[in-house]
Amino acid sequence: MEKGELQCKFGILSRPDGSVMLSEGNTTVIAGIYGPVEVKMQKVLIEKAAVECHYRPKSGLPGVEDRFYESIIRNICETALAASMFPRSAISVVIQEMQNSGELISCAINAACLACLDSGIDMKCMFAAVSCFLGENNQLSLVPPVNRKEIKATFVFVFDNICGKIIASHTDGKFSESLYEEALYICMNESKNIFSFFKKSLFEREEKGKKK
């Protein structure tokens, strides 16, 4: 039941305002964030910054499915970022998939959160995503089975760190209501570990910065 190990490295890209490489188990993504930057005329919002997200798959051009993930990540970032601090500007989050072994969406969302933290853009709350998998034996697990065909359903939940409420939920596959509930509580517990990982990583980043 132990979740795959979390590892992250801040500031791996020099151009963006914040960047991070995050791996959860065998899934790895790189996230970069630019903001607040100039915004295209069509996208200008007068009362807040326009949050945009670009998701890049491992190979090829992004398709409709990637656009779907983009919209989820964008919505979550918009909820968490204090976008109203920067009216008439844009905050752009770029996610590059490196390796996917099942928990790609949650890893991408977590990376987006860390990148936001790294950039220093004001946020209303932190957010953490947890994936949960329903295996063939109707057992819920936080680790994706090696054989993808065994997955009967996937749950992804995103929580905020202040009230522990659910910011986003995305599911794949069919399941009963009680299983959904069970998965939700498992993920909710796990999210605490992720938040403490975020905090730990940030402290380590500070330490390193001081040494330099």
Interface contacts to another protein, rule CB under 8 A: 61-65, 67-68, 70-72, 74-79, 158-160, 163, 165-177, 180-181, 184-185, 188
CB of 155 to another protein, least distance (A): 8
Q: Which two tokens stand for residue 171?
A: 């599911």
Q: Which of 3, 2, 30 is nearest to 15 (CA)?
A: 30
CB of 22 to another protein, least distance (A): 19
CB of 69 to another protein, least distance (A): 9
What is the rounded radius of gyration, in angstroms, for the C-alpha atoms of the chain? 17
* Distance, CA of 211 to CA of 39 (rounded, Å): 37
CB neighbour list of residue 144: distance below 8 Å, 6 or more residues apart: 25, 101, 102, 103, 131, 133, 151
CB of 153 to another protein, least distance (A): 8
Beta carbon nearer to another protein, 21 or 113: 113
Q: Indicate the SS3 state at residue 144.
A: coil
* Distance, CA of 152 to CA of 66 (rounded, Å): 22
* Distance, CA of 51 to CA of 137 (rounded, Å): 41
Beta carbon nearer to another protein, 38 or 177: 177
CB of 181 to another protein, least distance (A): 7
* Distance, CA of 11 to CA of 27 (rounded, Å): 19
* CA–CA distances in Å: residue 166 to residues 32, 36, 54, 79, 188: 24, 27, 23, 12, 9
Beta carbon nearer to another protein, 3 or 172: 172
CB of 31 to another protein, least distance (A): 16
Beta carbon nearer to another protein, 21 or 194: 194
Beta carbon nearer to another protein, 7 or 176: 176
Beta carbon nearer to another protein, 67 or 200: 67
